[in-house]
Structures are given as C-alpha cells and as structure tokens.
Amino acid sequence: MDKLQNNSIIIDCLQYANWSPKIFKEMHEGGIDCIHVTIAYHENFRETILNLEKWNSYFLNFSDLIVHAKSVDDIIKAQKDNKTAIIFGFQNPSPIEDDIGLVEIWQKLGIKFMQLTYNNQSLLATGCYENNDTGITRMGKEVIKEMNRVGMVIDMSHSSEKSTLEAIELSSRPISITHANPEFWHPAKRNKSNTVLKKLSESGGMIGFSLYPHHLNKGSNCQLDDFCKMIADTVDMIGIEYIGIGSDLCQDQPDSIVEWMRNGRWTKEKDFGEGTSENPGFPTQPKWFKNNTDFENIRTGLSDFGFSEEEIKNIMGRNWLNFFEKSF
C-alpha cells in the first residue's frame, strides 16, 4: 500500500460500458485507477477473441488514458503513470465452452475473473433465475480447482444460493461477488442473502456493491444516503475489509445490448430479466451516479454518513487491491 499515491486507489470491480474516447476521458477525469471490464456474456471462444482484438485497439489508440493490467504491479504502475488499468473478466463460462484446458489459456491471455454462470444453469453451476438450484456440477468442481491452480478468480454474482455457498466451500482461494447488493436491503433475485455474505467474508471473499438500478432500493430513485446506510449495515454484519464497489455501470449502451445480456442464444422467447415488457431497456441511473466522474459523490456520501478517511479509502479500492494481491 505504501506504493500507492496518497495511500489511496479507486477500483471499480465491474463495468460493461459502450467504450469510447468520451468514457476513457471520464475515467481519467474521475480518477479511476482500475476497472474490471466484462469482455464476454454469451460469446464462445472465437467471439471472445474478437473482443480481445477490439480491446487491443483501444490500448493502442488510447495509450495515454488506459493500459491492460495483468498484475497488482501493473495496476500500481498505471496509477503512477496517471492511466486507468483495465483487467478482464467473463460474466459467463461460455468462452471455455466444454474444455477445461481453456481456463489456463484464458488466464494467460489476461482473464482475471470468470462467473460460473450468468442467471441460467451452465455446465458449471446454477444461475439465480433457475427454479431448481442443483448447485455446482461435476465439471464445475473441476473448473473451480483449475481456476484456483492458475489464479483466476471465481465470481458468483449471477449464481444461485446453493451454487454460491458450494463455491465458497469448494474453492481453496477466496471467491468474489463482484457486483451485487444485500438482499436485506433490496430483495432482487441478483442480490445476496445474509448467509451468503457471512460465509463469503468468513472465507476472505469480497463483494462489490452495485449501482445498477434493478439492484438498488427504490431503483433509479435510490438516494445516496440510503446506499451509504446499506454499506454501513453490511459493514456491521461482515466487516469493512470484505466490501468494495462493483458498479455494474453500463454507460451509453443501447437497449439491444441488455436484450443480448438477457437472451443470448438460449431462447427464442423474449426474456425481460429484471425488467418488464413495459420497461424492457436499461434503467436510468441514479442522478448521483451516471458515469465515472461520479465516484466522488460516493466518497462524499460515505464521509457524510460518518465513515473515516481510512475506511473510505478501503471501500473505494484498497480492499479490492488487497484481494487482488492474494488472488493473482
């Protein structure tokens, strides 16, 4: 931590924006030091390679603003160089297809996080939208061991209760829930129970609090002080060292993208996920968090709620950095 500027760092552990020069500049303006970027939802191996190609062009063309990071040292160097470090992750195991050998291939290509499922049943685990929660599959148990071996973080943000608890138990390394909120605050299918949060923290895992409106109390009308109270209540329950931010910011994405996220290629019917037929698109962000320049609002809200400067630094990024140091 002594390598950090002002002993501080801002890390957002999940975004899926419609990446552009405008957004890269806002990241810089907002002082964002590191972002975990989703590069696959339902894509297969080859399709995900094309997404990597796109990011390689971003790194080439916007090298003054962003850099690909594969280690904590890379993240710290990016901060020193006044750039935003980008780390990659999958929100679904589809890029490994049915081949466990691809886990190591992807890790060597820079993938740091992989969800074992995205809402639905996968080859590895049960998603949070399934009626029958069967837990981690036979292949899932093997993939967990392989992810532990190569240093790829298990992410259970979109997984069911049983699968998440089993992943915590099976993994030899702490796991993550990169973008979700407590169920006690807002009972969305994607939010997590007290049981999961307690088991997660007891094992040294991390949760990133989501700013996606469907995960927020009162949705788009969620108030900053209510969000900060939720953080305080979670700290009281599991401790401050296991929490961070995973905004799930989908800035500037067209509604066709949320349809892809929900439907992929698994259904011919239209699934509205957390939305409705009347409101099928992306929900409106709260007015106090619309883009990467608004992280200062969270910092201010936490301060106003009574968190100390050191506690705020931990929540805004140092906890995630500590987790990264142990994970990859």
Average pLDDT over residues 124-140: 97
Please state the domain extents for the chain.
5-327
Average pLDDT over residues 251-275: 90
Average pLDDT over residues 119-133: 97
Per the prediction, the chain carries an average pLDDT of: 96
Give the CATH fold of the 5-327 domain: TIM Barrel (3.20.20)
Judged on CB neighbours under 10 Å (0-12, 13-18, 19+), 99 is exposed
pLDDT of residue 279: 84
> Is the pTM above the cut of 0.75?
yes
Residues whose CB falls within 8 Å of the CB of residue 117, separated by 6 or more in sequence, listed in order: 92, 93, 124, 125, 126, 127, 158, 159, 160, 163
Query: Per-residue pLDDT tens for 98-114?
Result: 999 999 999 999 999 99
Crossing angle for the helix pair 138-150 and 161-170, nearest 10 degrees? 50
Q: What is 258-286 written as a DSSP string?
A: HHHHHHTTT-SSPP-TTS-SSS-SPPPPP
User: Does residue 238 surpass a pLDDT of 90?
Assistant: yes
For the chain, percent of residues with pLDDT exceeding 90: 92
Query: Per-residue pLDDT tens for 111-121?
Result: 999 999 999 99
Distances (CA, A) of 311 to 22, 108, 241, 293: 31, 34, 9, 21
| Position 300 confidence tier, pLDDT thresholds 50, 70, 90 | very high
Instruction: Measure the CA–CA gap between 175 and 326, rounded to whole angstroms.
Output: 11
Closest by CA to 321, choosing from 104, 69, 106, 93, is: 69
> H or E segment at 107?
helix 101-108
Average pLDDT over residues 166-171: 98
User: Does residue 2 surpass a pLDDT of 80?
Assistant: no
Query: Per-residue pLDDT tens for 59-113?
Result: 999 999 999 999 999 999 999 999 999 999 999 999 999 999 999 999 999 999 9
pLDDT of residue 5: 79
User: Does residue 273 surpass a pLDDT of 90?
Assistant: no
Average pLDDT over residues 303-308: 98
Query: Per-residue pLDDT tens for 11-37?
Result: 999 999 999 999 999 999 999 999 999
